[in-house]
């Protein structure tokens, strides 16, 4: 019974020497809330809100949205919930916020936060719904932010509604390179390694043929993460990771070694990441991160990091 209890242990994320790393869930709709809670997530690090908007001719009302956000908070009575504002564009077209007529490269077009320069009302309603929830456990962040000016614009809209815990995703290389400037405008950042990789390597994330470039162990991606996490450390503001990279137990240790304070992932990945992190000290994670960044290839970075993470086998 003891062994069973230990193997299903779902306590808070931490390294072997007790450095706390909250392990959070990426959630894409209300149906996944229960999975996330059941897997022992300590909160939601990325609540993708596209599900509320897709397949509709009109945006959901403020009241409908408020209920959805309250439901997410109710699923995690003790945890924080990071709600990401609508990430429209590219593969997610929406009739009520149409793309500009000619967009030869939608992934490089008016997507994410950018779209709401032309449709501020949709953003106003979403932020209004979030403010109406009125919870201190609620955090709000914007996708696809490229510059500090965009981060400041979003933060200003949020604060005008009374929202106090405001962040942005770092998923465009320019934002990682100037993360210090971006952080000056917001309370926290969350690194989205999926798009950060796509844009750093100029390789469409949906193209299987590009998978070698999307390997999240690519040293150039680790460098960008290190830049952003380092800037957050200097600013004294939280920096999480919410891309797929956090779901790999060895890479999760490396990301912590690079300075990530929280990791958010698919609920199914939580147990292995919790165990991997709990088996290594913060110093081991830092050493693994250091040697990984010294390599030239993703494969070498993975192999070099593993030497310092012996418990992962
Ligand atoms: C990311 O880009 O890494 C991310 C977490 O967001 P999404 O996968 O929804 O684009
Ligand atoms: Mg993204």
pLDDT tens across the length of the chain (313 residues): 444 444 556 789 999 999 999 999 999 999 999 999 999 999 999 999 999 999 999 999 999 999 999 999 999 999 999 999 999 987 777 989 988 888 899 899 999 999 999 999 999 999 999 999 999 999 999 999 999 999 999 999 999 999 999 999 999 999 999 999 999 999 999 999 999 999 999 999 999 999 999 999 999 999 999 999 999 999 999 999 999 999 999 999 999 999 999 999 999 999 999 999 999 999 999 999 999 999 999 999 999 999 999 999 7
The C-alpha R_g of the chain, in whole angstroms, comes to: 19
Give the residue, by CA position, lying nearest to ligand 1 atom 9: 48
Q: Name the residue among 265, 263, 278, 269 with its Cα closest to residue 311.
A: 278
Secondary structure letter of residue 201 according to DSSP:
T
Per-residue pLDDT, 304 = 98
Interatomic CA distance for residues 228 and 141, integer angstroms: 16
CB contact at 8 A, 304 and 291 = yes
- Estimate the crossing angle of helix 282-293 against helix 219-235, to 10 degrees: 130
**SS3 assignment, position 84:** strand
Stated as kind and residue range, the H or E segment containing 67 is: helix 62-75
Q: Which residue in the block uniquely carries the two structure tokens 């913060």?
A: 282
Per-residue pLDDT, 202 = 97
Q: How far is the CA of 245 from the centre of ligand 1 (A)?
A: 11
**Whole-prediction pTM:** 0.96
CB contact at 8 A, 311 and 280 = yes
Half-sphere exposure of 215 (CA within 13 A, CB side): 13
Residues marked as catalytic: 242
Stated as kind and residue range, the H or E segment containing 108 is: none
Half-sphere exposure of 203 (CA within 13 A, CB side): 16
Q: Pick the ligand that lies closest to the CA of residue 193.
A: 1
Binding-site residue set for Mg(2+): 171, 195
Q: How far is the CA of 228 from the centre of ligand 1 (A)?
A: 16
Q: How far is the CA of 46 from the centre of ligand 1 (A)?
A: 9
DSSP string, 247-288: GSHHHHHHHHHTT-SEEEE-GGGHHHHHHHHHTS-HHHHHHH
């Amino acid at each position: 019974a003891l062994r069973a209890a230990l193997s299903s242990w779902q306590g808070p994320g931490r390294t072997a020497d007790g450095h706390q790393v909250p392990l959070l869930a990426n959630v894409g709709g209300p149906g996944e809330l229960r999975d996330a809670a059941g897997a022992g997530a300590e909160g939601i690090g990325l609540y993708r809100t596209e599900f509320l908007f897709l397949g509709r001719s009109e945006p959901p009302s403020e009241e409908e949205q408020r209920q959805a956000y309250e439901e997410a908070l109710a699923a995690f009575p003790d945890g924080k919930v990071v709600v990401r504002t609508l990430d429209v564009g590219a593969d997610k077209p929406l009739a009520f916020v149409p793309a500009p007529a000619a967009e030869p490269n939608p992934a490089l077009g008016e997507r994410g936060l950018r779209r709401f320069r032309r449709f501020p009302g949709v953003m106003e309603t979403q932020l209004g719904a979030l403010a109406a929830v009125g919870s201190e456990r609620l955090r709000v962040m914007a996708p696809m932010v490229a510059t500090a000016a965009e981060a400041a614009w979003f933060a200003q809209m949020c604060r005008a509604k009374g929202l106090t815990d405001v962040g942005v995703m770092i998923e465009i290389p320019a934002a990682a390179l100037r993360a210090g400037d971006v952080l000056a405008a917001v309370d926290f950042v969350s690194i989205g390694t999926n798009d950060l990789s796509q844009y750093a390597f100029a390789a469409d994330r949906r193209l299987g043929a590009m998978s070698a470039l999307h390997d999240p162990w690519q040293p150039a991606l680790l460098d960008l993460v290190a830049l952003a996490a380092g800037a957050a450390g200097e600013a004294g503001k939280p920096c999480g990771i919410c891309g797929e990279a956090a779901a790999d137990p060895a890479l999760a240790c490396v990301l912590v070694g690079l300075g990530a304070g929280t990791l958010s992932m698919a609920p199914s990945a939580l147990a292995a990441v919790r165990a991997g992190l709990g088996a290594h000290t913060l110093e081991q994670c830092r050493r693994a991160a250091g040697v990984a960044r010294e390599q030239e290839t993703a494969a070498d970075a993975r192999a070099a990091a593993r030497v310092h993470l012996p418990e992962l086998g």
